[in-house]
Amino acid sequence: MRHFDYAQMPQGLLTPKTVGLLTAVHEHKGRQALYLNAKADVLDALTEVAKVQSTEASNRIEGIRTSDRRLQQIMSEKSDLRSRDEEEIAGYRDVLATIHESHDFIDVTPNVILQLHRQMYRYTPSSMGGHFKVGDNEVRGIRPDGTEYVRLKTVPAVATEDAMERLCSAYRGAVASESIDPLLASLIFVFDFTCIHPFNDGNGRMSRLLTLLLLYKAGYMVGNYVSIEKEIERTKGAYYDALAASSQGWHEGRNDPGPFVRYMLGAILAAYREFEERVCAVVDARLTKAERVEAVLRSSVGKTTKRDIAAACPDISQTTIERTLSDLLADGKIEKTGAGPATGYIWKGQRGRTVKR
């Protein structure tokens, strides 16, 4: 039986790399209040973009998709749901909103986690929402040749409820006693939750929602303004590698949570840096909106889409972005590539660069 004890720091976790990442995230949290004093409309715009990106990315990791237009309609609750994927996207949207709005009042208990899972499936005909798994499951991976393999044998269904009770109790006890950094306790909790895999479906999405919940409860608010889920999707190969590395020997209590913790600290750190860059760009009165669009293109590597620019500059209208792109094309500063939804723009300074040897 796996034992959960967050009051004790796992042996070997605080390597120089882990400490460096943890210190950097702490420093960004310390500066957080400075950026949260920015204009309210700027923060509101960032929040709306982050909600859309988080919902899209977390579902897309699991193969749940819809078009950009339909996603916007679902997020604004202005359309009926037309498919199972859209039903699940809408459920994620609702749980995300609950966590954003009420995190301080959400306790970390099995019953609350079941309620959030039920809410995620509220629009689907499935009866699995809000119930722990009724059959054993496995975390499977795919090799480069396309064959599947078992990455982790999870907790048996018959032992899941007890495991979740002990998991939540250990986490609450550690946070109450202040015996471990709450950020580390939160990340190890999410990892252990993933290894338990308590549901027949929705474990990955629930793990990312719980990540946000625990970060908010510990005072790390960056996920409200920049999508951590999008960063995980962007680096999902490393995400799954970290899960695999940290799960070795998990049932026997011999695993090393370090790879997963370091991966997640890196994702949180990337989100904080992006948050600060976006706020600074918006409040910097020295740049016009057109100059800020140009700055995004100039600093990007590879193709940049209108959607990328809108995410980086959420307070700038689509009309202004399109006008600026037209002007930059006319001036020969950027090059257009692709067509339709795949249309992107490349800063011409990227062309023809050579590496000196």
Residue 108: pLDDT over 90: yes
> CB-based contacts of 44: which residues, under 8 Å, 6+ apart?
none
* The pLDDT of residue 353: 42
pTM exceeds 0.75, yes or no:
yes
For residues 63 and 160, what is the distance between their CA atoms, to the nearest angstrom? Answer: 26
Q: Per-residue pLDDT tens for 259-318?
A: 999 999 999 999 999 999 888 876 665 678 888 888 888 878 788 999 888 877 777 888
For residues 300 and 270, what is the distance between their CA atoms, to the nearest angstrom? Answer: 15
* Averaged pLDDT, 149-159: 89
Q: Tell me the range of 99-108, 294-303, 327-336 where mean pLDDT is highest.
A: 99-108
* The pLDDT of residue 277: 86
Which DSSP helix (H) or strand (E) runs through 7? none
Residue 167: pLDDT over 70: yes
What is the CATH code for 287-350?
Answer: 1.10.10.10
For residues 354 and 357, what is the distance between their CA atoms, to the nearest angstrom? Answer: 9
* The pLDDT of residue 284: 62
* The pLDDT of residue 352: 45
From residue 343, how far is each of 64, 283, 306 by CA, in Å?
23, 29, 8
* Averaged pLDDT, 115-134: 96
Alpha helices (H) in the chain, listed in sequence order: 16-36, 40-61, 68-75, 84-102, 110-120, 157-177, 182-196, 203-217, 228-234, 236-247, 258-283, 289-299, 306-312, 318-330
* The pLDDT of residue 261: 98
* The pLDDT of residue 175: 93
Average confidence score pLDDT of the chain: 91
Hey, is 15 helix, strand or coil?
A: coil
* The pLDDT of residue 354: 39
Q: Per-residue pLDDT tens for 59-75?
A: 999 999 999 999 999 99
Residue 356: pLDDT over 60: no
What is the CATH code for 16-282?
Answer: 1.10.3290.10
Residue 180: pLDDT over 60: yes
Q: Which of 32-36, 121-125, 349-353 has the lowest average pLDDT?
A: 349-353
Q: Which of 49-53, 91-95, 144-148 has the lowest average pLDDT?
A: 144-148
* The pLDDT of residue 151: 77
Q: Which band of pLDDT confidence, cut at 50, 70 and 90, is reported for residue 350?
A: low
Q: Which of 36-50, 119-133, 164-178, 324-338 has the lowest average pLDDT?
A: 36-50
Spans of all domains in the chain: 16-282, 287-350
* Averaged pLDDT, 170-191: 95
